[in-house]
Amino acid sequence: MEASIGVLLIRPLSPYIQLEISKRYTLFKFWQPPHLRREFLRKHSNSIRAVVANGAQGPDAEMIDALPLLEIVASHSSGLDKIDWTSAGRGASQ
């Protein structure tokens, strides 16, 4: 069986959306206390290939750098200003 793609949710989405995502992908929920976040990323870094952000919170340079297999950064809202696009674009195919 092929390994599932890991999707990191930075903030909770509706229960329905979370359920639908979890049917297709391995879902990682990042609403950990701040002092546990680095360890969480270290533990799961080789499984996460996508991050779902929103207008209130997005992946910063530290998070992006901690996820070597990251391929997709998506926003589940109209806001994109919380995503560190400079870091997200490193290594991206042009």
pLDDT tens digits for 8-50? Answer: 998 898 999 999 999 999 999 998 788 898 899 999 999 999 9
Q: Is residue 22 part of a domain?
A: yes
Q: Is residue 81 part of a domain?
A: yes
pLDDT digits (tens, 9 = 90+) for 51-68: 998 766 778 888 888 999
Q: How many domains, the chain?
A: 1
Cα 25-81-36 angle, rounded to 5 deg: 55
Q: What is the pTM of this model?
A: 0.77
- Structural domain including 63 reads 6-88
Q: Is residue 94 part of a domain?
A: no
Structure tokens at 81: 């200003």
Rounded Cα–Cα distance for residues 73 and 52 (Å): 6
Q: Is residue 1 part of a domain?
A: no
pLDDT of the residue at 94:
34
Residue 75 binned pLDDT confidence (cut-offs 50, 70, 90) = confident
CATH number at residue 81: 3.40.50.720
